[in-house]
């Protein structure tokens, strides 16, 4: 299994830009971009909680476990 970040989907649903989210969460836009592309080793609970608060969603809305090799990202 691999964990896929669905942040771009939630951003689209909430019609929010990455920069706005970065400002609300207090991390850089570059880190938001890395999160969206899944190029991070992990996400701190603190960051996850801040993103959930900013996007009014649950962690499960942002993260999804998919079988290996099925994610084309």
Question: Which CB, 10 or 27, lies closer to other proteins?
Answer: 27
Show the site string, 17-56: x = touches other proteins by CB under 8 A, - = not.
Answer: ----------x---x--xx----xxxxx--x---------
Q: Which CB sits closer to other proteins, 30 or 66? A: 30
> Any contact of residue 66 with other proteins (CB under 8 A)?
no
Find residue 4's DSSP bridge partners. 64
Residue 50's closest CA among 29, 27, 33, 69? Answer: 27
User: Which of 40, 54, 66 shows the shortest CA–CA distance to 11?
Assistant: 54
Minimum CB–partner distance for residue 34 and other proteins (Å): 6
Token code pair at residue 47: 């960051």
In the complex, the residues that contact other proteins under the rule CB under 8 A are 27, 31, 34-35, 40-44, 47
């Amino acid at each position: 299994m691999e964990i896929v970040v669905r942040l771009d989907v939630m951003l689209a649903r909430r019609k929010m830009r990455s920069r706005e989210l970065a400002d609300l969460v207090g991390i850089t836009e570059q880190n938001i971009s890395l999160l969206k592309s899944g190029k991070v080793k992990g996400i701190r609970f603190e960051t996850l909680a801040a993103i959930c608060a900013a996007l009014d969603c649950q962690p499960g809305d942002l993260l999804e476990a998919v079988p290996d090799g099925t994610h084309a990202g």
